[in-house]
Amino acid sequence: MKKNIYHIQTSSPEATIDFGKRFATQLKPNDLIALYGDLAAGKTTFTKGVCEYFNADQAATSPTFTLINEYVGDMPIFHFDCYRIKHPDEIIMLGFEEYLEKDGVVLIEWPELIAKHIPEDSIELHINYVDDNTREIEIRSPRSMEL
């Protein structure tokens, strides 16, 4: 699928949160955002911004032992962290496919670990470490976005 590509650079965690807020203004129910990037790239930090924009009841956290966090706000937010997944089908057992149809936004950390279940029309974020405070973010979106 042909995707629109955007590049953003942030120079602090706060700037990544702000970018998450700005990005969230463009989201629609049932959007799926696949967050690629190494440990400490900023996937959870970005998700915090999305949560803030939708006035979520809690701030996004790294779900160490839980695979999914649900936040209640102006839009339901389903935050998956697949880091500990051993087999891609584990996520199906947890009702993954139903989450894609609950009229919320779905954010997934470590989507590469469930690659076969990531829909082709996902919005991809690729977050790359530049230096301690700087991250380069590439967005690949099936629709055009104002970022």
Ligand X SMILES: Nc1ncnc2c1ncn2[C@@H]1O[C@H](COP(=O)(O)OP(=O)(O)O)[C@@H](O)[C@H]1O
Q: What are the residues binding ligand X (CB under 6 A)?
A: 10-13, 15-16, 37, 39-45, 62, 109, 133-135
Is 110 in contact with 91 (CB distance < 8 Å)?
no
Task: Point out which span in 56-64, 89-97, 99-107, 116-124 binds Mg ion (CB under 5 A).
Answer: 56-64
Q: How far apart are CA 86 and CA 72, in angstroms?
A: 28
CB of 103 to ligand X, least distance (A): 25
Closest to ligand X by CB, 92 or 130: 130
Is 91 in contact with 118 (CB distance < 8 Å)?
no
Residue 135 in the binding site for Mg ion (CB under 5 A)? no
CB of 125 to Mg ion, least distance (A): 12
Task: Point out which span in 28-36, 58-66, 67-75, 116-124 binds Mg ion (CB under 5 A).
Answer: 58-66
3-state DSSP helix/strand/coil percent for the chain, to nearest 5? 25, 30, 45
Is 42 in contact with 16 (CB distance < 8 Å)?
yes
